[in-house]
Amino acid sequence: KVVLNSVRNLALLLSFNGSKYHGWQRQKNAVTVEETLSNAIYKITGEQASIIGCSRTDAGVHALGYVCNFKSNTKIPTEKLPLALNTALPNDIRTLKCKRVADDFHSRFCAVSKTYIYKVYSDVISNPLLKDFVYHFPYELNYSKMERATLPFIGTHDFSAFMSSGSSQVTTVREVIDFHVSKENNHFNFEITANAFLYNMVRIIIGTVLYVGIGKIQLQDIEQIIACRDRKRSGITAGPEGLYLSSVKYNE
């Protein structure tokens, strides 16, 4: 039997518009999603929560299904906590669900895989209504070539060529489980799932595939770029505004 005032490990499912935030992780001189959520938890429960996030997102990156967890002694029932927190959160951050999880659950280390969506708009003139929500790439893209360019990334590889400097990862080997692109008019949606990602890995992979789409990188060169592990050989780091953390998968 669950005692309501016992310490619970609570997992939250969040959705947020990252345009106004300097990423997820708390920083000294910038407003972040973690800090904003922490303030809301304090306002609702009176607790200074230590929040564990599933991923460090960059400034301007969005989330459809971000997972975090924290320990709480609040008497507010788990199922009512999302609505309570939403009253204290700005309207660009929403708590969708709350679930009590095992005491040793860690939203980052327990993740089996993560899925990101990346949105590109390829018209010559940008759409002001899409500002902050898609990456404007003002060139004609070859959809067929980009479809084929996603395939070499699938599998287990050393993705050093697709990592920005400043990462402290022990290993640069990752497994990309799925990667595909869809198209509607000038809108391109990329979806990529991996067991984990390196720093800016998604944005650099997208930048590389976009370069294939305009002929700046040849399709047959992708495998060699992966194998050479040289960041200088891959494409640009596509902007943060097109990136969405879509979902996180766990074993439970």
Q: Could you give the residue numbers annotated as active site?
A: 58
Secondary element (H or E) of residue 135: strand 135-136
φ/ψ (deg, to 5) at 195: -70, -25
136 near 206, Cβ under 8 Å?
Answer: no
What CA–CA distance (Å, rounded) separates 198 from 172? 7
Q: Are strands 187-194 and 155-158 parallel, antiparallel or unpaired?
A: unpaired
Residue 87, classed as helix, strand or coil, is coil
Task: Name the maximum alpha-carbon separation found in the chain.
Answer: 62
Integer Cα distance of 72 and 176 in angstroms: 35
Please state, in angstroms and rounded to a whole number, the distance separating the CA atoms of residues 94 and 15. 5
Can you list the alpha helix ranges (DSSP code H) found in the chain?
33-45, 81-86, 143-150, 201-213, 222-228
Nearest to 246 by CA among 192, 187, 203: 192
What would the two tokens of residue 209 be?
A: 């595939």
Pairwise CA distance, residues 202 & 187, whole Å: 18
Asked if 178 contacts 245 with a C-beta cutoff of 8 angstroms, the reply is no
